[in-house]
Amino acid sequence: MPLTPEQQAEIDAARAEPRETLRAISPGMEAHLYTAHPVLDHGFVRVIDYMGDDAAICQAARVSYGRGTKSVSNDEGLIRYLMRHWHSTPFEMCEIKLHVKLPVFVARQWIRHRTANVNEYSARYSILDREFYIPAPDALAAQSTTNNQGRGAALEGEEAERVLRLLREDAMRCYDHYEAMISDEGQQGLARELARMTLPANIYTQWYWKVDLHNLLHFLRLRADAHAQYEIRVYADAICKIVADWVPAAYRAFEDYRMGGATLSATALDCVRRMVKGEAVTQETSGMSKGEWREFVGVISD
């Protein structure tokens, strides 16, 4: 159950009472306000509030640079210039506050991005719901033999069934023990802050996450990448769709220069110049290590 009845009632009440405002709004973002976008089996992402739009980015840039921006003929051109040259502060003028429901192990990856304000549901004061992330069969994969952080081939047949059974049984048993410890046959029971120790990392938590657009785009560049772990990537993908509607010009520039672009070292750039001149550059003559060369070839060959 992604949303509780109480949360849904709160959302319905908020959407039923539109408010007039003098502040700039983003029509695309207004359509997302309060709507819970499902992610994984019990999770979601929803927009609580936001500030700014594409015009706010340009407004901030023109205040900063004064007459230096007059050669830029339109807002989108300015935004592309800012993105291309790695300017950050104009994008920091936009902010978003999200309500996210996610498995604890995904939250532990997410929180490594230390450039946001976070307030998480407290298992010291409240009782966590009996909700666990159980992967879909096609998301089960063996450990990669070449990448310690990656996945290999998908598990199939009896092995997949065995893993799913163990995940479900362990989750249910841990929650049964959790319930028993906090309400021990009518006794006072163990403190919630201690009882939570028995819960597995696939139980769901929730938080409010507020971040500016500059740092949000950095998060998305890493977590919406094809190499990111699937369980956090699907959250990033959902947020990408929201950002594309919120600041469409900035998101188009982000897709072009960050998600679809590549950064080359001075050595790699020298190799490209030599190749353009007709030289047959190899790993041995490139000045790169085997790993660097493999990544370089992957970039220029795609």
Are 116 and 250 in a shared domain?
yes
Calculate what percentage of the chain has a pLDDT beyond 90: 71
Q: Phi/psi class of residue 184: alpha, beta or left (left: φ > 0; alpha: ψ in -120 to 50)?
A: beta
Instruction: Select which of 46, 196, 223, 258 is catalytic.
Output: 223
Are 50 and 9 in a shared domain?
yes
Are 10 and 108 in a shared domain?
yes
- The residues that bridge with 100 in the sheet, in sequence order, are 45, 207
Are 197 and 92 in a shared domain?
no
What is the total count of domains within the chain? 3
Amino acid at position 104, single letter: V
Are 111 and 140 in a shared domain?
no
Are 248 and 278 in a shared domain?
no
Cβ contacts of 205 within 8 Å, gap of 6 or more: 101, 102, 103, 104, 107, 120, 121, 123, 128
Instruction: Domain of residue 21: give its range.
Output: 5-133+202-259
pTM score, whole prediction? 0.88
Confidence bin at 3 (pLDDT 50/70/90): confident
Q: What is the pLDDT of residues 64-118, one digit of tens each?
A: 555 544 544 588 999 999 999 999 999 999 999 999 999 999 999 999 999 999 9
Are 218 and 103 in a shared domain?
yes
Whether residue 223 lies in the annotated active site: yes
Average pLDDT over residues 284-290: 94
Instruction: Show the tokens assigned to 201.
Output: 């990392």
Are 177 and 33 in a shared domain?
no
Are 143 and 10 in a shared domain?
no
- The residues that bridge with 39 in the sheet, in sequence order, are 43
CA dist 58 and 79 (Å) reads 7
Instruction: Show the tokens assigned to 174.
Output: 């841990």
CA dist 231 and 10 (Å) reads 28
Average pLDDT over residues 230-253: 97
Is 291 in contact with 267 (CB distance < 8 Å)? no
Name residue, tokens 């291309």.
84
